[in-house]
Structure 1
Amino acid sequence: MKPSQTLKKTIIAVFTILSAIMYSQELTNEHKQMLKYDNTAYFSTLINKENINACYQIENNSYTLLGLAIKMNSQQVFQKLIDEKADLEKACDGKTPLMFTAKYDHTEFAKKLLANGAKKDTKTDKGYTALDYARKYEKPEIIKLLE
């Protein structure tokens, strides 16, 4: 292998690692408490333009704050994120918030996302939509909503 090819591969590898580090942020204890107790009292001190649509690594998965609010059924935090114009199409680990509503069976969240402009036909890298997830997890109300 030529030295220029080795250098190019090294640069690509370093860039990939740095991108992964920058792509996923760590969720602070304050963020976790806000989501766990569905408390928006400190929302404005915790959430800003730089982190509202960030991907946060939780165990082996990555979520936006909107995705985490759906997963944890944090209704007030969810609404505050909608009000603050969180990106409804932001995908972490390939899944959008609407896909998480199907996975976690939160029909009311799905309705609010759709009412605020979330797209039913957004697809993952593998071509799955929120409807596909609703079918996979056997969520009849969300299936009906998305059909």
Structure 2
Amino acid sequence: MSITVNKKAFHDYFVEEKYEAGISLEGWEVKAIRAGRMNIKESYVIIKGGELFLIGMHISPLATASTHVSHDPTRTRKLLLHAKEISKLIGKVERAGYALVPLDLHFVRGRIKLEIGLAKGKKQHDKRADELDKDSKREAQRAMKERQR
């Protein structure tokens, strides 16, 4: 079950491979995510010391959250992947000029997972071409719908 999708990532990047990673979260963050109080639109993934970290994901604390814990809505969160997957990603990001982009936040058997994509940036003309394709498909769907009536 998807919690949130980063539509901007699909607009700005060609996503070539997808990986599912766990996230190291605190208790108040899990509660806030379950309540839908997060944003992954401006977030990105970096590699630091052979580990992956999610930067820029904003989680707003609930009003009922504990007052004795200091809440940092945009703290850096560690991503949990197998060592082989991490080494493969490091190789592709450093050599081939790829970027790691968060795509989707979802539940898997009660746990919160982040789908990250190995992606290459789109140029402006690629974005325009994609927009034209979407428009033409939308027009074709409208025409088909009108014919069926």
**TM-score computed with the length of structure 1 as normaliser:** 0.20
Greater helix share, structure number: 1
Q: Which has the higher contact order (CA 8 A, sep 6+)?
A: 2
Greater strand share, structure number: 2
